[in-house]
């Protein structure tokens, strides 16, 4: 490969090797395109390196520790249960390394050219890639922008050693005695739960009326709130975080509730108030790509921008910042470039919170359906009436099925309970495939499993429940 002033030609260039970019690159290569992928940091992006994967590893380790300490009610008592946090971090890093190495191998196996550096558009068909030592120009037929997002930094909470974002929270060298979390969204709740399980005294300051906002029904989020309070987590809602004083040993966070100013001391303050799209240093104006007021890239149903040769996916376009949404859009973009009639349809995209209990949702909620004038039938089945949930000692929660009244079509579902993150896949399939409640009820589910809860809820929707009274 010639490096220097001579442009390198490629069919498709992908900017960003996260779960959107690397999937787009692989799919494009499978469809016969000559593909180059540009990544300025690590293959796998935020998700694999400092987001989804390491956070779930930490959550898993913390849950195992908490379970080991508190299983007296099922006859198991463990003494002197200890955490070697450095070893936890080593194990977490090994999980990340296995996945990122795997992605690197998949890209190379699909003959995708991997380039390290920062990308900057020169025009609608030219890109300049720079690293510390050199720069190289690439010309392309099509480009897919998949640069993701970064944590929002509050002016009054500039990131330091003691004021941290989610990346910092995942890299702590010790378990803090006290932790303040600003923002009660899914990131704050997940990491707050993990450290609470490790024994940290956690305070969550949420600006809204309740944690997890309005994305999930109150009956679901109240289960999470109740469990957090059982762990000793102090949840302060309608709280305005005002500032922080930092010392060598910790922080003092100032906040306001109902006009009264208060303070709380901690070892660290974790700021989780949302994420900002990485669209500001790409030279998009040079290529003529249009952005929204929020800095998001405008796209059509095929992820194509207003510039026909440039596509955009993931956190930099409208919609929830979800890794699986980015991957889905990556496939759509790669297929559109290859001439396929693929288009995005977000109805079947699930959302999950790895809280306790887990929360998951797909398709319409009851409220959303009613807002659109759809007459629905809703059906609930409790985890407490399921044999597997009882055997797991995890009876908190329920599954709610949302079906269209006229024909029983499954248009949505919400789950609060153990393994909701896995169970939501069946409801996602039902929504995507246009299945009815009867289709689910007639599907034989293995016994005893949590999956039976889905079947039982479908039977409730049909008016013929077996394991709860009608």
Which residues are the active-site residues? 447
Which residue from 447, 313, 317 is spatially nearest to 388, judged by alpha carbons? 447
Omega within 30 of 0 (cis) for the link into 357: yes
* CA distances (Å), origin 251, targets 12, 180, 241, 261: 48, 9, 13, 16
Helix (H) or strand (E) holding 142: strand 135-145
Angle at 347 between CA 19 and CA 302, to 5 degrees: 60
Residues 135, 59 contacting (CB under 8 angstroms): no
Residues 468, 401 contacting (CB under 8 angstroms): no
Q: What is the 3-state secondary structure (H, E, C) of 233-251?
A: CEEECCEEEEEEEECCCCE
Strand partners, 239: 257
CA distance 326 to 330: 6
What lies within 8 Å, CB to CB, of 393 at 6+ separation is 73, 74
For 322, list phi and psi in degrees, rounded to 5: -120, 135
- How many other CB atoms are there within 10 angstroms of residue 230's CB atom? 10
For 453, list phi and psi in degrees, rounded to 5: -60, -35
Place of tokens 């704050």: 188
**What is the sign of the dihedral through the CA atoms of 108, 112, 113 and 117?**
negative
Place of tokens 């302060």: 236
What lies within 8 Å, CB to CB, of 441 at 6+ separation is 455, 458, 459, 461, 462, 464
């Amino acid at each position: 490969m010639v490096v220097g002033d001579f442009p390198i030609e490629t069919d498709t260039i992908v900017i960003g090797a996260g779960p959107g970019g690397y999937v787009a690159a692989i799919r494009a290569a499978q469809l016969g395109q000559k593909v180059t992928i540009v990544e300025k940091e690590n293959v796998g992006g935020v998700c694999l390196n400092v987001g989804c994967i390491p956070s779930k590893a930490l959550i898993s380790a913390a849950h195992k520790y908490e379970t080991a300490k508190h299983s007296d009610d099922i006859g198991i008592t463990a003494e002197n249960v200890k955490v070697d946090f450095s070893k936890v971090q080593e194990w977490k890093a090994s999980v990340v390394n296995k996945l990122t190495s795997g992605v690197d191998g998949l890209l190379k196996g699909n003959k995708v050219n991997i380039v390290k550096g920062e990308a900057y558009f020169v025009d609608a068909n030219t890109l300049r890639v720079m690293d510390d030592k050199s720069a190289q120009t690439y010309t392309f037929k099509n480009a897919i922008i998949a640069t993701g997002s970064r944590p929002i930094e509050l002016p009054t909470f500039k990131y330091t050693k003691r004021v941290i974002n989610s990346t910092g929270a995942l890299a702590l060298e010790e378990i803090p005695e006290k932790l303040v979390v600003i923002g009660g969204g899914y990131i704050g709740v997940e990491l707050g739960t993990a450290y609470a399980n490790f024994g940290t005294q956690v305070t969550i300051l949420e600006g809204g009326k309740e944690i997890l906002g309005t994305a999930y029904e109150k009956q679901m989020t109240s289960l999470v709130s109740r469990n957090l309070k059982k762990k000793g987590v102090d949840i302060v809602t309608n709280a305005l975080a005002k500032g922080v004083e930092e010392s060598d040993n910790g922080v003092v966070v100032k906040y306001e509730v109902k006009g009264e100013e208060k303070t709380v001391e901690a070892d660290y303050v974790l700021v989780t108030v949302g994420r900002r799209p990485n669209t500001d240093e790409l030279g998009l104006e040079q290529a003529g790509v249009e952005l929204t007021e929020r800095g998001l890239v405008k796209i059509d149903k095929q992820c194509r921008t207003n510039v026909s040769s440039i596509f955009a996916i993931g956190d930099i376009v409208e919609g929830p910042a979800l890794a699986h949404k980015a991957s889905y859009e990556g496939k759509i973009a790669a297929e559109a470039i290859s001439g396929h009639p693929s288009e995005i349809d977000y109805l079947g995209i699930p959302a999950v919170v790895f809280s306790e209990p887990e929360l998951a949702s797909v398709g319409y909620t009851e409220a959303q359906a009613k807002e659109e004038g759809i007459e629905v039938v809703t059906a609930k089945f409790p985890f407490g009436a399921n044999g597997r949930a009882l055997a797991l000692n995890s009876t908190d929660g329920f599954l709610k099925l949302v079906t269209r009244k006229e024909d029983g079509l499954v248009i949505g579902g919400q789950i609060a309970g153990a393994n909701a993150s896995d169970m939501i896949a069946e409801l996602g399939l039902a929504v995507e495939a246009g299945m009815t409640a009867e289709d689910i009820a007639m599907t034989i589910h293995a016994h005893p499993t949590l999956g039976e809860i889905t079947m039982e809820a479908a039977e409730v929707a049909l008016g013929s429940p077996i394991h709860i009274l009608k």
